[in-house]
Amino acid sequence: MAHEKILIVEDDEVTSLHLKMALPKLSYEVVSIAHDTFQARNKIKIYEPDLILLDISLEDETDGINLATYIKDKHNIPYIYLTSHSEDEILDEAKITEPYGYIVKPFDPKSLHSTIQMALYKFQEEHKLKENVSDLEAKREHLEKLLYSKKVSDKPLVPFAGEYHLDISTCETFYQNSKIKLTKKENAFIRILVSQLGQVVSFEQAMNYVWEDEGATENSVRTLVWRLRKKLPSDIINNASGMGYYIDAADSAE
């Protein structure tokens, strides 16, 4: 397994030397040391480190904070502030840059290791979350295209299950041209079912689309379907045992 590459940005030679000696013993690779913001910007581009240890002050009181803002805006790299107790008054300003941790000088090797590990873990989890959000957005875009392809001529209406139709512009459900009073989540569930007429919408798809990140469960979906069946004039929601639900496409216009 490759060791994580770390760039040290520190203008104090004693601290930077101690870090350079300590990090390899903790199985990290020190790719380089930068003593000012100019060096740091160049070395970030050259070495593309996995993590940056950044002195909060450098030559000037706010140089480290300014560099952190640059890293946040231009590079997708986590950074940890190196700070001393005498710098407590500028920590409030530093918090705005959302660092992945703080290491107090002089540092303890065990604390250094745990802080780096937590920072890398947090960064990885954030990356996974961003990927999941991007994937969900792509799926939503695909769903909207499916709905659009099913609409009637130039109207934003999608007929389904005989005498029902969905107004995709307002996400409202109608039966015999009369609006059915449904909640926002109930209409959203109808929307995803109609987008995939004749195909099973899994519990996971329903939870991601209807509840997004609200922590729904399969029971949440079952309860929603139970309530929907009580409100709809006819039972059009079919159960695919253990998999999810679907609306039959047989009586729907193509």
| Ordered alpha helix ranges (H), the chain | 13-25, 37-47, 63-74, 91-95, 109-150, 184-195, 203-206, 218-231
Query: In this predicted structure, what is the pLDDT of residue 253?
Result: 46
DSSP state of 181: -
Look up residue 131 and give its amino acid: E
Task: Write the pLDDT tens digit of every residue in 195-240.
Answer: 888 888 889 888 888 887 677 899 999 999 999 999 999 999 999 8
- Tell me how far apart the alpha carbons of residues 233 and 163 are, in angstroms, rounded to a whole number: 10
Whole-model pTM: value is 0.56
Q: Rounded CA gap, 40 and 116, in Å?
A: 19
Q: Is 190 helix (H, G, I), strand (E, B) or coil?
A: helix
**What are the backbone angles phi and psi of residue 170, rounded to the nearest 5°?**
-120, -5
Strands of the sheet with 237-240, listed across from one edge: 201-202, 244-247, 237-240
According to the model, what pLDDT value does residue 211 have?
Answer: 87
CB atoms within 10 A of CB 44: 23
3-state SS assignment for residue 51: strand
Cα separation, 103 vs 81, in Å, equals 6
Domains, the chain, ranges and CATH? Answer: 5-131 (3.40.50.2300), 151-247 (1.10.10.10)
Instruction: Render pLDDT for 45-72 as a digit per residue (tens, 0 to 9).
Output: 999 999 999 998 877 666 888 899 999 8
Q: Are 245 and 225 in contact (CB under 8 A)?
A: yes
DSSP reduced 3-state for 158: strand
Q: Do residues 231 and 180 lie in contact, with contact meaning Cβ atoms separated by under 8 Å?
A: yes
What is the radius of gyration, based on Cα positions, of the chain?
27
pLDDT in single tens digits along all 254 residues of the chain: 458 999 999 998 999 999 999 999 999 999 999 999 999 999 999 999 999 999 988 776 668 888 999 998 899 899 999 988 666 667 777 788 889 999 988 888 888 999 999 999 888 887 776 665 556 565 667 777 777 777 776 788 889 998 999 998 898 999 999 999 999 999 999 988 988 888 888 898 888 888 876 778 999 999 999 999 999 999 999 998 888 999 987 655 44
Other CB atoms closer than 10 Å to residue 65's CB: what's the count?
A: 23
